[in-house]
Amino acid sequence: MTRWGILATGHIAGRFAEDLKLVPDAELVAVGSRTAESAERFAHRHGVPRAYASWAELAADPDLDVVYVATPHAAHHEAALTCLRAGRAVLLEKPFTLDLATSRELVETAHAAGVFLMEAMWMRVNPLIRQVCELVAEGAIGTVTSVRGDFGAAGPFPPEHRMRARALGGGALLDLGVYPLGLAHLLLGMPDHVHAWAKISPEGVDENTGIILGYDSGAVATLSCGIVGATALTASITGTGGRIDLPEPFYRPGSATLHRPGAEPEVLTTELVGNGYQYEAVEVQRCLAEGRLESRLVPHSATLEVMALLDGIRAQIGVEYV
C-alpha cells in the first residue's frame, strides 16, 4: 500500500483526491495546508484521516510515502523543498516552478537526498497520448514535420485574479502554454530556434502568446496560448506519411484520428475514467515499487528542458516574475 499526502486544498487537490480512490494499493492518509481550517475542511470532505495546519507538519509525517503538491505554481518551489528535505517523495504539479534555476534546485535536492521527484504532467502519462507517441515512433505517419497546438481560456480574468498577478507567475504561458509546448517537446525534442510574441497585460503578464519552434531537421511547431478567448484546445501532428489529430482537450484526449493517404481515417479510442489524474499516481507508485528516483515517462531532463524553453520565451516576450 502506498500512503499519500496532499499538500494544498484547492480544486486540483480535490480532483486528485477523487482519482486516488481509483488507484489500486493507494491510500490517502494526510492533507496539509497553511491553515487548520482549510486542512480540516478538505479532510472531512474527502475522508482523510489526518489534517495538518502547515506544510512542515505534513512533510514530517513518518507514515507518508509520497506527497502530491497542488499549490499554485508560485509556491511549488517552497512546498516541494519542504517535502524533499523531510525525505518525502514528491509528485509536483506543473509547471514545476517559475523558472529553470529553481526547478534545477529541486532536481538536485532530490538527487542528493535519494528521493523520488516527478512533475505531474498528466499529458505524458495519458494512455492515448502514449499510444500516439508509440505510433509516431513506429513510423505510422512517417517523419514528423509539424506539431500544432493551442490552449486559450475564455476569461475574462479581473485584475486581481492570480492569472493576472505577476508575482504569482500569472499569464497564459506557464499555466496554459506549458501544454502545447510540452506536446511539441514530447514529439520533437528541444528546438534549434525559438520565436515568440505576446500581448502583455497592464499587470505585466502575457495575455495572448504565439510561439514558433524550428528544428534543423526542417520540422516546425506552431503553438499558442491565451487568457482572452477560448480556443479549440486541439492539436495535430503531421508527418511525411500522414497526420494524427487530437480533439478537445488535446492534453487529456479520449480519442485521436489517424489520417493516411489512400486510407479511411482511423479513430483510436481509450476508456478514460475519473479526471485523468490517477495515471500520474499509478506511474509514481510503479516507480517507487521499482526503487526509481525519476520516471521514464516524465523524466527530470524533460521537465528541465521545457522550463528552459519557458524561460527563453519569457525573455523574448518581456515577462518577469517578481
Active-site residue set: 94
Q: How far apart are CA 170 and CA 72, in angstroms?
A: 10
Distance of CA 211 to the CA centre of its chain: 18
Q: What is the torsional sign of CA 162, 163, 167, 168?
A: positive
**Which residues are bridge partners to 66 per DSSP?**
4, 89
Grid cell locating 283: 506511474
> 9 Cβ partners below 8 Å, 6+ apart?
31, 33, 38, 39, 41, 42
> 295 Cβ partners below 8 Å, 6+ apart?
118, 283, 284, 287
Best CA proximity match to 51, nearest among 60, 39, 59, 66: 39
Q: How far apart are CA 122 and CA 281, in angstroms?
A: 10
Q: How far apart are CA 250 and CA 165, in angstroms?
A: 27
Q: How many CA atoms lie within 13 A of 293 on its CB side?
A: 14
Question: Which amino acid, one-letter code, is at 158?
Answer: P
* Residue for grid cell 535519494: 114
**Which residues are bridge partners to 197 per DSSP?**
210
With both helix axes pointing from N to C terminus, report the angle between 300-317 and 100-113 in degrees, rounded to the nearest 10: 160
3-state helix, strand, coil in the chain (%, to 5): 40, 25, 35
- What size, in residues, is the chain? 322
Q: How far apart are CA 90 and CA 272, in angstroms?
A: 25
